[in-house]
Amino acid sequence: MTLIRSALFQIWFWAMSAVLNILFLPALALPKAITFWGAERWAALTLWGLRAFADIRYEVRGLENIPKGPVLIASKHQCMWDTVVMHALLKNPALILKQELLSIPFYGWYARKMAMIAIDRSAQMKALRAMIAEAKAALAEGRPIVIFPEGTRVPVGETGEYKPGVAAVYTMLGIPCVPVALNSGLYWPRRGYRWNPGTIVIEFLKPIDPGLKREAFMTALESHIETATARLVAEGQKVGAPALAVREG
């Protein structure tokens, strides 16, 4: 049954995404608020499809920990769900992403329109300066900045290398950072085609106030995210998420 549900969700997801990608093409020539609205609809329909077809729900904890005003959201990254849900929970988030993603048809076009912050990792200091400038512009528009500190999806049960970009945004802009833990990888595959039924939990942890030195900040951030993520993964497995998902992909 799980494989059938997974197949139905994939059909829904790709068909729905294709239709919205085409319908919103005119938005590329219009104010970006329309594209933001389209991204919210896409996220909502994706989450609806997960519930209706794959029997996957989600629980949000700690939204009250997000302070008013400029903020950096630093999230664990286990699967695509982590990106989708940010459009549903946050208002017009500015995601920091790899520049290569802008080359993907439709996705890259809409990402550019929404002024997502694309990073050319090969450019080093030039890329850092561009990232900070774009982050400042996003904050000026009242948008939260979202970064995945490990820079890529990491299998459940593993910790990737926390990249220096997150510390650069935190220290150079002097803004609070909200760590985010989750257990989405137990349910939405990093690779493969089996979506496991259950309830994903995403938790916004207490913010790290601005002013820490780089090393202290990185130590605190990784500790907060990884400790809370391990707790949520254990919680998910306790209520039935398959243990083999820890080594999925």
- By mean pLDDT, which of 104-113, 115-124, 178-187, 194-203 is the weakest? 115-124
- Residue 123's pLDDT is what? 61
What CATH number has the domain bearing residue 230? 3.40.1130.10
Domain count, the chain: 1
- Residue 212's pLDDT is what? 96
Mind listing the pLDDT tens digit for each residue in 108-136? 999 999 999 988 766 667 778 888 999 99
**Residues 222, 120: Cα–Cα separation, whole Å:** 23
pLDDT-based confidence at residue 245 (cuts at 50, 70, 90):
very low
Residue-range definition of the domain harbouring residue 165: 2-247
- By mean pLDDT, which of 25-29, 97-101, 148-152 is the weakest? 97-101
pLDDT > 60? residue 180: yes
pLDDT > 50? residue 248: no
Backbone CA torsion sign across 95, 87, 29, 101 = positive
* Buried b or exposed e, range 53-65, using 16+ CB within 10 angstroms: bbbbebeeebeee
Q: What predicted TM-score, i.e. pTM, was given to this entire model?
A: 0.91
pLDDT > 70? residue 247: no
